[in-house]
Amino acid sequence: MEFPISECPYCGNDEVSVKCKIIGNCNYNIKLDGTRDAYNGEMYDCTILKPMQKYAYCNCCGKRLFKHEHITF
Ligand SMILES: [Zn+2]
């Protein structure tokens, strides 16, 4: 995947974020001893991400960086 920038021009961070809505169903695993350490790593495999913003934002300084038609969800 190619992006118009390789880092945030404001702070140098190399990650962006896009606010998304998560739609889907999952089986949520729960330990019977009351702790919260049951494995739920596959929870997002059966979900659909719908972007709620047209732009990608730096996930460090929060500046708007580019239109995210380049990102596949
Ligand atoms: Zn930044």
Tens digits of residue pLDDT in 20-69: 998 998 888 999 998 878 998 888 788 888 889 999 999 999 999 999 88
pLDDT band at 3 (very low <50, low <70, confident <90, very high): confident
Contact 37, 29 (CB under 8 A): no
Distance CA 16, CA 56 (A): 6
**Long-range contacts (CB closer than 8 Å, 24 or more residues apart) made by 36-39:** none
pTM above 0.85, yes or no: no
| Distance in Å, CA 35 to ligand 1 centroid | 37
* Domain ranges within the chain, ordered by starting residue: 16-70
Question: Cα(14) to centroid of ligand 1, in Å?
Answer: 8
Between the CA of 9 and the centroid of ligand 1 the distance, in Å, is 7
Q: Identify which of 3, 29, 25, 26 has the alpha carbon closest to the alpha carbon of residue 16.
A: 3
